[in-house]
Amino acid sequence: MSESFEADLARCVTRWCAGATGIANAARLSGGASQETWSFDIVHPNGDIGAILRRAPSGYGAAPERAAGLDAEAVLMQRAYAGGIPSPPVMHVLEATDGLGTGFIMGRIAGETIARKILRDDAFAAVRPKLARQVGEVLRGLHGLDRATLPQLRRMTPATEIAELTRDYRSFDWPRPVFDLALRWLADNDPGPARHETLVHGDFRNGNLIIGEDGIRAVLDWELAHFGDPMEDLGWICVNSWRFGAIDKPVGGFGSREEMFAGYEAAGGRVDAARVKYWEVMGTLRWGVMCCGMMQRFRAGPDHSMERAMIGRRASETEIDLLRLLAPRARGG
């Protein structure tokens, strides 16, 4: 971490946060080379304010084509917050004069994002049974956001998603017969575009939710937001990879589809269970293709890390899950 970064951040904060005198405790949380997340405190005479900076440093402008872009993410989080979706308040969208690249600063919400803790720690035992229903309620809320107030985003349908996954898979030039089986099934069972297309979060799952002892406190990481079939979000959170071992509780390892559906419908939404299942298959394949993509990036560099390499060896997890979905074995329990 450079001193000039901290100085730039302090200068930025004092410009728009009345009374702020500087920053403290800046620490990088995560992210790859193209996107960074920082936690820091805004030093203020009335009490320090916990904050998060999400930014792409200058020179890393080219976002992957799926990404909505940080400016769009900031607007989405503002709309979500205004619409009553659990969300951190966006305090500042970075400007060129800030010298910090593109991105935004938001309030820091206390809570847990690590799935294994949420699914196992005693602190969450009381709230766990309520989470599947809450997932449904929150998803319905964000699907109900007025499209006219939202930024320009990509439109995705089953057909465009299949086309992208096929292209990505073929580019790896490594045969995975189970992926071909899934692609074929998805094409043969394509339900077509949804009749009512809405905002889709695109990555609503364990890891991108801040959860406290009172439930879901914030929805994070709108990077993959787009317009499309709202059932996609319900299917994605059922992908087995986000159950972290609690495989009999399909909604993020928290609870049942029925509980999620009940929450969604109580909040005014309509569930199409067959489409949810369809998107669960799509999502399982998508995560598998993403794992292979990590391996490709490991090979190509510059992020030549063991972690990326080892994620490549998790693609087979999605293959067994695809077989469990598409070719379940008859006998046994």
Partner 1 sequence: MQDEPTPTELLNAVAEFLRKDIAPKISGAAAFKLRVATNAIDLVVRQLELSEPRAGEELKHLVKLLGEDGSLLDLNRKLADSIATGAVDLRTPGLADHLWQTTMDKLAVDQPNYASYRRELERKENS
The binding site for partner 1 (CB under 8 A) comprises 175-181, 183-184, 240, 243, 245-247, 306-307, 309-310, 313-314, 316-317, 319-321, 323-324, 326-327, 329, 331-333
Question: DSSP assignment, residue 152?
Answer: P
| Closer residue to partner 1, CB minimum distance, 179 or 236 | 179
| Closer residue to partner 1, CB minimum distance, 242 or 264 | 242
Q: Which alpha helices (DSSP H) does the chain contain, by range?
A: 3-16, 70-82, 115-120, 128-143, 158-172, 177-188, 231-236, 257-266, 273-300, 306-312, 315-326
| Closer residue to partner 1, CB minimum distance, 64 or 328 | 328
Enumerate the β-bridge partners of residue 301. Answer: none
Count the helices and strands in the chain (H runs, E runs). 11, 9
Q: How far is CA 71 from the centre of its chain?
A: 16
| Closer residue to partner 1, CB minimum distance, 178 or 199 | 178
| Closer residue to partner 1, CB minimum distance, 222 or 298 | 298
Give the closest residue to 246 by CA, choosing from 133, 237, 203: 237
Least spacing, CB of residue 176 vs partner 1, in Å: 7
Q: Which alpha helices (DSSP H) does 203-272 contain, by range?
A: 231-236, 257-266
| Closer residue to partner 1, CB minimum distance, 15 or 324 | 324
Helices 315-326/177-188 angle, 10° precision: 50
Least spacing, CB of residue 72 vs partner 1, in Å: 30
Least spacing, CB of residue 325 vs partner 1, in Å: 10
DSSP codes, 271-300: --HHHHHHHHHHHHHHHHHHHHHHHHHHHH
| Closer residue to partner 1, CB minimum distance, 304 or 313 | 313
Question: Exposed, middle or buried by CB within 10 Å (0-12, 13-18, 19+), for 68?
Answer: buried
